[in-house]
Chain A
Amino acid sequence: MGEQHHIEGNIQEKYSLDDQTKKYILGFIGGGLLLVIIGIVLAMVGGHDAGHGHGEHHGGLHTAVWLRQLFSNLLINTYFFAGIAILAVFFLAVKTVSNAGWYVVIKRVPEAISEYLPVGLILLGIVLLGGLFSHSLYLWSDEEALKADHHYHVIKEKLGYLNTGFFVGRMLLIFILWIVFQRMFMKHSIEQDNPATVMSSFNASFKTGAIFLFVFAITMSMAAWDWFMSIVPAWFSTMFGVYIFASSWVSFLAMATLIVLYLKRKGYMGYVNENHIHDLGKFVFAFSIFWTYIWFCEYLLIWYANIPEETFYFYNILHSPLYSTIFVGKFLINFILPFFVLMTRDAKRNMKTLAIVCSCVLFGHWLDLYIAVFPGTLTHEGIFGPMEIGMFLMFFGIFGYFVLNKLGQRNLVPEHHPYLEESLHHHVF
Chain B
Amino acid sequence: MTESPIREPLVTGKKSYAQVTDDVLKPIVSAPSKEWWFAFLISATVMMVGLGCMTYTVFTGIGTWGLNKTVGWAFDITNFVFWVGIGHAGTLISAILLLFRQGWRQSINRAAEAMTIFAVICAAIFPGLHMGRPWLAFWVLPLPNTHGPLWVNFNSPLLWDVFAISTYFSVSLIFWYTGLIPDLGLVRDKVTNPIQKKIYSILSFGWTGSARAWHRFEITSLVLAGLATPLVLSVHTIVSFDFATSVIPGWHTTIFPPYFVAGAIFSGFGMVLTLMIITREVLDLKNYITDGHMDAMCKIVIATGSMVGLAYTTEFFIAWYSGSIYERFTFINRAFGPYWWAYWAMFTCNVFSPQIMWIKSIRSNMKLVFIISLLVNVGMWFERYVIIVTSLHRDFLPSSWQMYYPTWVEWGTMIGVFGIFFTLFLLFARLLPVIAIAEVKSIMKVSSDEAKEKNTHSYASGELNVNVAHSPDNQKF
Contacts and interface: CB of A to CB of B under 8 A. Distances in A.
Interface of A: 1-2, 4-5, 97-99, 101-102, 154-155, 157-158, 161, 210, 213-214, 217-218, 221, 225, 234, 236-242, 282, 286, 293-294, 297-298, 300-302, 304-305, 307, 309, 418-419, 421-422, 424-425, 427
Give the interface size class of chain B: 35 or more
B314 A297 contact: no
A302 B254 contact: yes
Interface in B288-332: 299, 303, 306-307, 310-311, 314-315, 318, 320-324
A23 B246 CA distance: 56
Given A158-B323, A241-B314, A242-B255, A214 B306 contact: yes
B465 interface: yes
B310 A217 contact: yes
Given A305-B245, A305-B247, A419 B4 contact: yes
A264 to B, nearest CB: 22
Contacts of B307: 217
Interface stretch (B40-48, B197-205, B335-343, B467-475): B467-475
Contacts of A242: 255, 258
Q: Is the interface of A mostly helix, strand, loop or mixed?
A: helix
B258 A422 contact: no
Nearest to B311: A238
B233 interface: yes
B233 A425 contact: no
A301 B243 CA distance: 10
8 contacts: A2-B472, A5-B465, A161-B321, A214-B306, A237-B254, A300-B245, A301-B257, A418-B4
A311 to B, nearest CB: 11
B258 A238 contact: no
A168 B2 CA distance: 49
B218 to A, nearest CB: 10
B7 interface: yes
B464 to A, nearest CB: 6
B453 interface: no
A315 to B, nearest CB: 16
Contacts of B323: 154-155, 157-158, 234, 236
A307 B314 contact: no
B266 to A, nearest CB: 14
Nearest to B96: A286
A147 to B, nearest CB: 16
A214 B299 CA distance: 13
A298 B241 CA distance: 11
B4 A305 contact: no
B6 interface: yes
A239 B7 CA distance: 37
A227 to B, nearest CB: 15
B461 to A, nearest CB: 14
Contact of B246 (A237, A302, A305): A305
Nearest to B316: A238
Nearest to A222: B317
B306 A297 contact: no
B253 interface: yes
B252 interface: yes
A392 B257 CA distance: 33
Contact of B475 (A1, A161, A225, A304): A1
B245 A238 contact: no
A273 to B, nearest CB: 13
Nearest to A423: B2
B2 A297 contact: no
Given A2-B470, A154-B323, A237-B254, 9 more contacts: A217-B310, A218-B310, A236-B318, A236-B321, A236-B322, A238-B314, A297-B237, A301-B244, A421-B2
A217 B252 contact: no
